C-alpha cells in the first residue's frame, strides 16, 4: 500500500506500508523489496527517479517484523529543464547569511573569517566591510537522486543547470537597516517561494531580525529559521537563542509552531509539515565553519516541494505574458539586458512585447532577442520563472525598474492614483491626508501622497482604513488585489490594492 504524503510540481513523497487511513501496518522485508522494485519499474516507464528517504520498523505484528519506507519520486516535466524554487535570505547584519550561502553553493566550509562569502559580493565596499548592500543570486542544485550539485569541483552554472533536476535559487538580501528599501524590493519583486531567516547564535534576536520577520509575516511568505555560528557558542547559549525564537514565534502576532530539527528524520518531517501547514516553522542549528547540521538543511531543501502545483501553473501559463523588470544592464556585444520574473504567460525568443509605463504613461514596442535562466541559454520562459532577457539595441535610457513587459493584446492600463485597504502597523502620531510614504507593490517602488482616508480624518497605529494614494513622479502599472507595503521612517503599514483609477490605456 502507498499513501501520498505531499505532492508538488514534478515531485511527490510516498510511504510504502501505510494504509489510506494513516495506519502504520508495514510490510515484511520481502514484500517491501518487491514493492520498491515495482515502484522503480513504474518510474522508469514515465522517466522518473526514485530515492529512498528513510526506512523504519513498526510494531504492528509482534511475531513478524514489519517495515515501512518513505520514497521521493521526482520527474522534471517535459516542458521544463529543472524544478525551480526561490528562497529569500533574511536576517540581521553579520548574522552569517552570505557566509552560509557561500558554503552551500560553493561546497567548501568557511575559515571563520568570511572567506566563503567573497564570491557572492558584487561591490568593493561589500568585500571590505563584509556586509551585503545589494541583491545577489546564487544557485544550489539537486539531481534526480537527491545528491547536491554545486560549484565544487570547478563546475560552472551551465553544468549545474544541466545536471540538476531541482534548482534552489537563493536571493541574498541586505541585513543592515539603511538598506531596508533594497530588502523590501527583493521580497516584493522577485516573488520568492520561501524565506530563510538567519539568526546568529551568539547575538540572538537583534537589529533587524524582528523587522525582517515582520516583513515575511506581512507578505504571508512561509519561512524557516537557521541559527548560525553554532561553533562560536556553548550549548547553553544556543539553547537560549532557540528559546528566544520559540517565544517570539508563539506570540499572538505570529502564532507559529516551532519545530527544532536535530536529525535526518526531523528534517524529512519538517519538510512535510512545513509544506502542508503555514503555521509550522522549522528551526535548524548549524555552523558554516565545522559543517554542523549542514546536511540536515540540504535534506530539507531537497525534499521541500514548490508552492505552485501543476494546475495553478497551467492556469498562469494560459494568461497573456507579463514580465516584471527588476534589473537593467548594458552588456558588450549583446546590448540592453533586463532581469526579472515572468508573472504570467509564456515568453519565447523573438517574442514581440510592449514595455512601460514611461513617465508619460506610454508603452513602447520591443523584441526579445534571447533568454537566459541561471546563466544558461533558454528558448522558452514560463510563468513563475526568473530570467534575463536580451533586448538588443533597445535604448536603455527608456527603461527603469518597476516597468513591465506585456503582450500587446493585454492593452495595459496605467495610473497615478489608486486605493488600498491598509493596516497601519506603526506610527508615532497620526496619519492624515498629505502624508508622504514610500509604497512597494511588486516591483514598483515610488513615493506617494495620502490623498484621502475614507470615513476618517486620521489614522492611528493598529487601525484599518481604505486610503487613496497618488504617486508623485509618474504613473505605474498596478493590479487590483496586489499586496502593498508602505513605510516612512519608523512608519510602516501593509494592505491590498482595491481600486486602480485609470489614467489612460495605450498599446
Q: What DSSP string runs through 28-55?
A: -HHHHHHHHHHHHHHHHHHT-EEEEEEE
Judge whether residue 48 has pLDDT over 70.
yes
Q: Is-contact 311 386, C-beta < 8 A? A: no
400 grid coordinates = 527603469
Nearest to 116 by CA among 126, 125, 107: 107
CATH architecture for segment(s) 311-410: Beta Barrel (2.40)
C-alpha cell belonging to residue 366: 520591443
Give residue 213's Cα distance to chain centre: 14
Identical fold at 2-74 and 83-307? no
pLDDT above 90 for 132: no
Total residue length of the chain? 507
CA distance readout (Å), 382 to 120, 264, 310? 27, 34, 12
303/119: higher pLDDT = 303
- Return the half-sphere exposure (C-beta side, CA atoms, 13 A cut-off) of residue 324: 26
User: At residue 313, does pLDDT exceed 80?
Assistant: no
Give me the percent of the chain exceeding a pLDDT of 70. 92
Spatial contact of 89 and 101, defined as CB atoms under 8 Å apart? yes
pLDDT of residue 504: 54
Residue 56 confidence (pLDDT) above 90: no
Amino acid 205: pLDDT? 94
Q: Which three cell numbers stand for residue 98?
A: 552570505
Mean pLDDT value of segment 195-214: 94
Residues forming a β-bridge with 2: 16
Most distant CA pair in the chain: distance in Å? Answer: 80
The confidence score (pLDDT) of residue 7 equals 47
Half-sphere exposure of 205 (CA within 13 A, CB side): 17
Least confident of 54-63, 106-115, 200-209: 54-63
Stretch 444-467: mean pLDDT: 95
Report the SS3 class of residue 418: strand
Using alpha carbons only, give the angle 358, 359, 364 rounded to the nearest 5 degrees: 20
- For residue 3, pLDDT over 90 is answered with no
* pLDDT attached to residue 25: 78
Q: What band does 81 get if pLDDT is binned at 50, 70 and 90? A: low
The residues that bridge with 27 in the sheet, in sequence order, are 67
Work out the pLDDT band at 153, boundaries 50, 70, 90: confident
Confidence of residue 78 (pLDDT cuts 50, 70, 90): low
- Rounded to the nearest 10 degrees, the angle between the axes of helix 180-189 and helix 209-218 is 30
Beta pairing partners, 283: 225, 260
Give mean pLDDT, residues 239-262: 94
Lowest-confidence pick of 155-164, 206-215, 241-250, 367-376:
155-164
pLDDT at 4: 43
Higher confidence at residue 287 or residue 507?
A: 287
pLDDT, mean over the chain: 88
Read off the pLDDT of residues 390-436 as tens digits, 9 standing for 90 and up.
Answer: 999 999 999 999 999 999 998 888 999 999 999 999 998 999 999 99
Does the pLDDT value for residue 79 go beyond 60? no
CATH homologous superfamily of 413-505: Translation factors (2.40.30.10)
Q: Say if strands 148-149 and 49-58 run parallel, antiparallel, or are unpaired.
A: unpaired
- Burial class, 440, CB count within 10 angstroms (exposed 0-12 / middle 13-18 / buried 19+): buried
For residues 12 and 119, give the distance between their C-alpha atoms in angstroms, rounded to a whole number: 34
- 2-74: which CATH number, 3.30.310, 3.30.70, 3.40.50, 3.30.1490? 3.30.70
| Residues 103-116, mean pLDDT to the nearest whole number | 88
Domain spans, the chain: 2-74, 83-307, 311-410, 413-505
Q: Among 57-66, 168-177, 423-432, 475-484, which is the least confidently predicted range?
A: 57-66
Closest CA to 345 of 370, 391, 380: 380
The pLDDT score that the predictor gives to residue 58 is: 81
What is d(CA 433, CA 459) in angstroms, rounded to the nearest whole number? 10
3.40.220.10, 3.10.20.30, 3.40.50.2300, 3.40.50.300: CATH of 83-307: 3.40.50.300
For the cut 80, the answer to whether the pLDDT of residue 304 exceeds it is: yes
213 within 8 A of 243, measured Cβ to Cβ: no
pLDDT at 490: 87
- Mean pLDDT score, 271-283: 89
Residues 6+ apart with CB under 8 A from 507: 354, 363, 408, 411
Residue 310 pLDDT grade (very low, low, confident, very high; cuts 50, 70, 90):
low
Amino acid at each position: 500500500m502507498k499513501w501520498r504524503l505531499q505532492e508538488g510540481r514534478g515531485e511527490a513523497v510516498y510511504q510504502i506500508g501505510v494504509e489510506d487511513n494513516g495506519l502504520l501496518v508495514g510490510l515484511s522485508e520481502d514484500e517491501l523489496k518487491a514493492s520498491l522494485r515495482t515502484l522503480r519499474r513504474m518510474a522508469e516507464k514515465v522517466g522518473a527517479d526514485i530515492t529512498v528517504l528513510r526506512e523504519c520498523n513498526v510494531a504492528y505484528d509482534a511475531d513478524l517484523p514489519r517495515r515501512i519506507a518513505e520514497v521521493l519520486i521526482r520527474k522534471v516535466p517535459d516542458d521544463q529543464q529543472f524544478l525551480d524554487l526561490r528562497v529569500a535570505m533574511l536576517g540581521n547584519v553579520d548574522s552569517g547569511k552570505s557566509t552560509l550561502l557561500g558554503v552551500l553553493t560553493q561546497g567548501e566550509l568557511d575559515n571563520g573569517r568570511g572567506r566563503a562569502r567573497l564570491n557572492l559580493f558584487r561591490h568593493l565596499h561589500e568585500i571590505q566591510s563584509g556586509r551585503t548592500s545589494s541583491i545577489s543570486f546564487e544557485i544550489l542544485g539537486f539531481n534526480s537522486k537527491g545528491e547536491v550539485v554545486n560549484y565544487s569541483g570547478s563546475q560552472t552554472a551551465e553544468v549545474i543547470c544541466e545536471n540538476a533536476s531541482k534548482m534552489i535559487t537563493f536571493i541574498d538580501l541586505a541585513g543592515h537597516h539603511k538598506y531596508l528599501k533594497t530588502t523590501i524590493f527583493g521580497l516584493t519583486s522577485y516573488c520568492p517561494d520561501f524565506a530563510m531567516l538567519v539568526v546568529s547564535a551568539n547575538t540572538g534576536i537583534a537589529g533587524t531580525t524582528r523587522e525582517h520577520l515582520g516583513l515575511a509575516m506581512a507578505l504571508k511568505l512561509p519561512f524557516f529559521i537557521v541559527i548560525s555560528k553554532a561553533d562560536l557558542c556553548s550549548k547553553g547559549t544556543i539553547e537560549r537563542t532557540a528559546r528566544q525564537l520559540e517565544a517570539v514565534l508563539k506570540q499572538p502576532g505570529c502564532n507559529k509552531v516551532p519545530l527544532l530539527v536535530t536529525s535526518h528524520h526531523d528534517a524529512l518531517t519538517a519538510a512535510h509539515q512545513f509544506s502542508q501547514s503555514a503555521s509550522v516553522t522549522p528551526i535548524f542549528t548549524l555552523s558554516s565553519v565545522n559543517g554542523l547540521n549542514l546536511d540536515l538543511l540540504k535534506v530539507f531543501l531537497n525534499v521541500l516541494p514548490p508552492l505552485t502545483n501543476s494546475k495553478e501553473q497551467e492556469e498562469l501559463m494560459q494568461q497573456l505574458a507579463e514580465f516584471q523588470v527588476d534589473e537593467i544592464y548594458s552588456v558588450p556585444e549583446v546590448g540592453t539586458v533586463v532581469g526579472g520574473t515572468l508573472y504570467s504567460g509564456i515568453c519565447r525568443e523573438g517574442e514581440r512585447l510592449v514595455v512601460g509605463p514611461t513617465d508619460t504613461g506610454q508603452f513602447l514596442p520591443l523584441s526579445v532577442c534571447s533568454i537566459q535562466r541561471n546563466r544558461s541559454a533558454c528558448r522558452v520562459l514560463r510563468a513563475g520563472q526568473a530570467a534575463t532577457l536580451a533586448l538588443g539595441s533597445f535604448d536603455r535610457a527608456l527603461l527603469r525598474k518597476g516597468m513591465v513587459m506585456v503582450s500587446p493584446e493585454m492593452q495595459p492600463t496605467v495610473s497615478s492614483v489608486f486605493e488600498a485597504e491598509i493596516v497601519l502597523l506603526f506610527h508615532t502620531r497620526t496619519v492624515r491626508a498629505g502624508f508622504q510614504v514610500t509604497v512597494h507593490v511588486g516591483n514598483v517602488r515610488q513615493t506617494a501622497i495620502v490623498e484621502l482616508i475614507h470615513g476618517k480624518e486620521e489614522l492611528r497605529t493598529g487601525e484599518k482604513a481604505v486610503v487613496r494614494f497618488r504617486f508623485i513622479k509618474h504613473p505605474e502599472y498596478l493590479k487590483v488585489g496586489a499586496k502593498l507595503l508602505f513605510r516612512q521612517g519608523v512608519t510602516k503599514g501593509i494592505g491590498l490594492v482595491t481600486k486602480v483609477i485609470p489614467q489612460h490605456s495605450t498599446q
